[in-house]
Amino acid sequence: MVGKTGLWRALALGAAVAAASGFVAAAAPVKPPARQPPKPCLEASEACVQWVALGKSGARSMVYSTYPLSAPNAHVRRALIMVHGTLRNADHYFTTATGAAFLAKALDDTIVIAPALRSADGGCKDALAPHEVSWSCGGDSWRSGGKAASDPALTSFDFVDEILRRLADKKVFPNLKVIVVAGHSAGGQFVSRYEMANRVHETLGTPVVYVVANPSSYAWPDATRPLPVDDAAPANAVRGWESEEVHTHFSYGPFAAADKAPKYDQWPYGFAERSGYAAQESDAQLRGQLAGRPATYLFSQVDTLPLGGFDGSPSAMAQGATRRARGEAFVKYLNEHFGGHAKSQIVPECGHNDRCVFTTDDVLKVIFPPV
């Protein structure tokens, strides 16, 4: 019989032999902590400013962005580019867009970008940084892909082209699934014309969708215009706020007052005498791109008064009496006569206000599509 002392010696000897033989289980490896996603930059301040180089002369334009455009980020799955209105207040629109991303719980997987199309041209008196592009403020302006006042070799659409190319770089954003280009008011004018004219849409390898909200005018694809009857009758258009449904009772024909508005079909209100970026494409190409690219048009229910920089020029009035009526008639004509698939959506209880529009639950689903 083995005594206690002998038993302990035997156990110790067995342990030593096992250790020497490599039979002792190795400790489980310690896993490194999971890499945390970068935190978004959310203030419209210098901390969120980035510069986008344009052309070969050292020219540049600025954007506000929640994440760097050049640092690899595998967490980003969606991009939202939000174009400002006529005041060129990219800081305000960056705050609107990041607020919308917060409500949509999309801050962590969405890069939000607000381009600043600033100008010291004509009546615009923005303070520009060294080498910053001064975009055209009048005529064929930044709203419609016009040439830069400081460099005629550049257009405002080239600026967004370059942003899209940066986003589509898989070395930087390997998991990006969709890019949304959105704008309100004058920004809506920009997006509607950029949608039809840009030449990068099919080249990126990443889907791009467009969201056009409450512009004052459109580039009509032919010389036809809405007839001032039914939902386009001025009195009916002004009372359009009474319904939350998209109006559809529109008729179309030659513009009867062309003698009083002889430039009604000139760019950027129509396709005639185009200049800037869009001048490099044929009418047929523009029509095909306008009809074929995915777009949602947002119309505020009560945007039926001439407020907020409303375009009351003869060329704009040829398209309808109110922003809402102009948009409803335009989308119906595009879909019925050119085979388009554009969507129209009324934003209930909103007027001409970007924050009301882009923070509405139904609109959050549009500007932050599932990925």
pLDDT digits (tens, 9 = 90+) for 168-185: 999 999 999 999 999 999
The pTM score is 0.90
Identify the helix (H) or strand (E) that includes residue 307: none
Tokens standing for residue 133: 């592009």
pLDDT tens digits, 21-56: 444 445 566 666 667 789 999 999 999 999 999 998
Closest Cα partner for 98 from 88, 87, 85, 108? 108
Alpha carbons within 13 A on the beta-carbon side of 99: 15
Residue 32 confidence (pLDDT) = 62
Residue 17 confidence (pLDDT) = 41
Contact present, 153 and 54 (Cβ < 8 Å): no
Go through the domains of the chain in sequence order and give each one's CATH number: 46-367 (3.40.50.1820)
Alpha carbons within 13 A on the beta-carbon side of 46: 1
Q: Mean pLDDT across the stretch 137-147?
A: 94
* Distances, alpha carbon 158 to alpha carbons 172, 239, 289, 324, in Å: 21, 39, 17, 29
Give the chain's radius of gyration (CA, Å).
28
pLDDT tens digits, 300-342: 999 999 999 999 999 999 999 999 999 999 999 999 999 999 9
Q: For residues 150 and 222, give the distance between their C-alpha atoms in angstroms, rounded to a whole number.
A: 32
Average pLDDT, the chain: 93
Closest Cα partner for 65 from 118, 119, 107? 107
Q: Taking the CA atoms of 196, 294, 340 and 233 in sequence, report the sign of the dihedral they define.
A: negative
Q: For residues 326 and 330, give the distance between their C-alpha atoms in angstroms, rounded to a whole number.
A: 6
